[in-house]
Structure 1
Amino acid sequence: MSTSSDTEPGLRTVDQAPSSARGTRLILHAATLGRPDAPVLADVELDIARGEILTVVGPSGCGKSTLLRSLAGLLPPLAGEIDQDEHPLAGPSAERALIFQEDALLPWRTLRANVELPLAIRRVPRSERRVQAEEWLACVGLADHARQLPHRVSGGQRQRAQLARALAGRPRAVLMDEPFGALDAQTRAGMQDLLVEVLRGTGATVVFVTHDVDEALFLGDRVALLGAGRLLAVRDVPHPRDRTALGDPARVALRRDVLTSLGT
């Protein structure tokens, strides 16, 4: 994924995104996660509230991606339960969108056609899905790039298109696996701000995996710490999504505690 070429002025944001479903509650109770021959996390107790942004941090190999894939319904729990709104989670669903670090756009489809894909799967009429796709592209600052193929735009633009595609399907939960990890610092900060603005109008629940503690403490209402094959703690974040609070004593203390818990 591109880095320096991703830095560009004019990331446009919106006061309200196109309408989307309300968020969903996700609950893990005594859950062991992983594959039958390779369990990764044991006895996980976690209650993710409707509409909250939960960030997840931990060292490489600690189970962050496994947690996301389990919430997406791709990996059934080996023991315990995963519920969505107090009903057992049964396999993948359009209600839970999964976003990866690699953009996974279809290279032969334009950005607009990529964003239209989940709408086509839902059998939205062609004219309506084109309008909705263009609205979402405008939300993420790509209105002028709708007809471009993915290889003709930067890495940051591809990630914005992937976000638009995920949200166009009106998911109730968005599961994000290091989505900004390959971007340069300036583009990454712009994507964080854009994500906050776009999500404001959706009500979606977000679980956001990152290696970056500062990113976790900026985005998250709470931060979950993983390590040693288990969920170590879940901490409330003071002043989430407020860049002026970076030096707040409570935020600084939480950052120190998170780093200490992770052994970094």
Structure 2
Amino acid sequence: MSTSSDVAAPALARGARLTLGTAVLGRPDVAVLHGVELDVRPGEILTVVGPSGCGKSTLLRTFAGLLSPLAGTVEQDGEPLTGPSADRALVFQEDALLPWRTLRGNVELPLAIKGVGRSERRSQADSWLGRVGLAAQAGQLPHRVSGGQRQRAQLARALAGSPRAVLMDEPFGALDAQTRSGMQDLLVEVLGGTGATVVFVTHDVDEALFLGDRVVLLAAGRVASVYDVPRPRDRGALDDPARVALRRAVLSSLGI
């Protein structure tokens, strides 16, 4: 997958630190995670894995400010996190692009909400579309492009608003294997140098190990383990003993 590496995009603010302290997470009628202690470091990619129904999406929505903790604390940079904020962008598996707006128009949307002038937001939108390899498709409506291209546009839209944290809920889950691999590479490339913190939920252990600086395993209503991932990030290092051991440990913890 090619991108326009010569197109500069505005730098993001330094990544946010997201913290849960002895938190109970869920909805008032049902708690799904208990006693969660988690510190997401500024600028890291933290991947989250676990069986279906273990609370991965609940964790993400709590960090987004869409759910309040039932007990304990949730903080951003040491301050209580009390609701949604432009500081934190949420990216779903469904691309959620507005079908009546072009790709450029979709990427411009967070800039328009922030009050950026028309010419400047067009320039910034085109810059981000260039970075994700969609310069030629900027004027297309979402239904005129592929699923992978829509996800690239969604990534550009999320980053255009200069969030300090990007919260991603299985964003590549509906893509075929080749497109998914390309999107993983693109995510790492585009995030490089931005400073944004990323929390990335996935059911795919290999995806979690490729993308994550650390991997969080949720199980039995709690944070079961947090693993550091060996680096450098390299698809050719699948046979590295440390990586093989970590993959085996995660799969074993999941009962696979």
Shorter-chain TM-score range: over 0.9
**Which amino acid in the other structure matches residue 263 of structure 1?**
G
Query: 1:33 aligns to what SS in structure 2?
Result: strand
Are 1:22 and 1:172, in contact at CA under 8 Å, matched by a contact in 2? Answer: yes
Q: Is the contact made by 1:13 and 1:198 (CA closer than 8 Å) also made in structure 2?
A: no
1:12 equivalent in alignment to 2:3:
yes
Task: Please list, as runs of the form range in 1=range in 2, the aligned pairs for 1:107-256 lying within 5 A after superposition.
Answer: 107-239=99-231, 241-256=233-248
- Label 1:254 to 1:159 Cα distance change in 2 as closer, same or farther (>3 A): same
Deviation at 1:246, TM superposition (A): 1.3
Moved over 4 A (4+): none
Deviation at 1:208, TM superposition (A): 0.3
Query: What CA RMSD, in Å, does the superposition of the two structures yield over aligned residues?
Result: 1.0
TM-score for both structures, normalised by structure 2: 0.98
- Is the 8 Å Cα contact of residues 102 and 140 (structure 2) preserved in structure 1? yes
Q: Does structure 1 residue 49 correspond to structure 2 residue 41?
A: yes
TM-score by length of 1: 0.95
User: Where do 5+ consecutive residues of structure 2 fail to align?
Assistant: none
Per-residue Cα deviation, 1:47-105 (whole angstroms, up to 9, x for no partner) = 01000000000011100000000000000000000010000111000000000000000
1:14-44 superposed Cα distances (whole Å, 9 cap, x missing partner): 3764311110101100000000001110000
Structure 1 segments unaligned to the other structure (5+ residues): 1-9
Verify the 8 A CA contact 1:13 1:197 in the aligned structure 2. no
Contact 2:9 2:124 in 1 (8 A): no
Alignment map for 1:55-70 (pairs within 5 Å): 55-70=47-62
Alpha-carbon distance in structure 1 between the residues aligned to 2:196 and 2:252 = 31
Aligned AA (1:11): S
* CA drift at 1:163: 0.2
Q: Distance in 1 between matches of 2:176 and 2:128?
A: 24
Q: 252-261 or 231-240, which moves further after superposition?
A: 231-240
Mean alpha-carbon deviation: is it higher for 241-250 or for 151-160? 241-250
**Structure 1 vs Structure 2: percent identity of aligned residues?**
77
